Amino acid sequence: MDKIYIELLQKDSLLEQAKIRRSKEFKYIQIIDSTRKDINTLKTHSNDLTSQNKQLYNCNKHLSELSEKRKNKLQRNRKIGLVMLGVIILQALL
């Protein structure tokens, strides 16, 4: 009778261990799924940031080109102004 009781206790113990093991496996699966979702979300954010950086770079490049054009135009206008001032001074002297 004692042997049967011991075997029943061992069986119950093994069943409890199996339940605990299944519970742990389920938790691990949930953690893995959650991690995959987080990784996908981070990849999406990374791609968005990369796209935004490219857009900002292109915008900055365009603004730099405009600034350079304006600078060249201003220098050209200054040179023309100085030449015109020189012509006016020469006309006044003559």
pLDDT in tens, 17-74: 889 999 999 999 999 999 999 999 999 999 999 999 999 999 999 999 999 999 999 9
Q: From residue 30, how far is each of 27, 39, 40, 87 by CA, in Å? A: 5, 14, 15, 85
- pTM across the whole model: 0.56
Based on its alpha-carbon atoms, the radius of gyration of the chain, rounded to whole angstroms, reads 40
The token pair at 10 is 């061992």
CA dist list (Å): 21 to 9, 18, 29? 18, 5, 12
The length of the chain, given as a count of residues: 94
